[in-house]
Amino acid sequence: MSESKYESKITSAPCTAAQIYRVLSNMENLERVRDLIPQDKIQEMEISPDRVRMKVDGLGQKITIAIVDRIENDTVKFGAEGIPMQANFWIQLKELNPTDTRIKLTVKADIPMMFKFMIEKKLQQGLDQAADMLAQFPYSQWN
């Protein structure tokens, strides 16, 4: 296995880094969007401020996504447990002005070489889509 690093495109959200950070640094905010999560893909979701534990369709066991580090108004770093590889990801924020905060997602994972080329493109597409989604989220309405 070799550790690989993937970065999303940089997107722009029309709010402050503090507004985004307050939402993303507390996993309990997932409760507010639970209805949008496909019930056929994710079940038995348990949410606390620092982690979410869930059963994901196709994995057969529960996985945990936990916040492992926070830098106020700058970075939220997550780790994953219960998946067949070591992985972590983080969301970085850079406020240019109160109506323009840039968002970038980064994933580091030990992906087995035989799977690396099969999932690289989909992982990159998923990161870019997640960055777009995070940039469009109505953070100011949640604060």
Please compute the mean of the pLDDT values over residues 4-17 and round it to a whole number: 96
- For domain 2-142, give the CATH number: 3.30.530.20
Alpha carbon separation from 141 to 20, 25, 26, 74 (Å, rounded): 11, 16, 16, 20
How much is the pLDDT for 41?
Answer: 79
The answer, as to whether pTM is greater than 0.85, is yes
* 61-65 LR contacts (CB < 8 Å, sep 24+): 65/27
Q: Regarding predicted confidence, which is higher, 129 or 84?
A: 129
Q: What are the percentages of helix, strand and coil residues in the chain, rounded to 5?
A: 30, 45, 25
Residue with tokens 């959200």: 13
Antiparallel, parallel or unpaired: β 51-56 and 62-71: antiparallel
Alpha carbon separation from 135 to 4, 24, 26 (Å, rounded): 25, 12, 17
Please compute the mean of the pLDDT values over residues 52-58 and round it to a whole number: 85
Please compute the mean of the pLDDT values over residues 11-21 and round it to a whole number: 97
Q: Is the pLDDT of residue 1 over 70?
A: no
How much is the pLDDT for 40?
Answer: 79
* 129-133 LR contacts (CB < 8 Å, sep 24+): 130/8, 130/105, 131/8, 131/9, 131/10, 131/11, 131/103, 131/104, 131/105, 132/11
- pLDDT tens digits, 67-80: 999 999 999 999 99
8-12, 57-61, 83-87: which range is least confident on average?
Answer: 57-61
Task: Count the residues in the chain.
Answer: 143
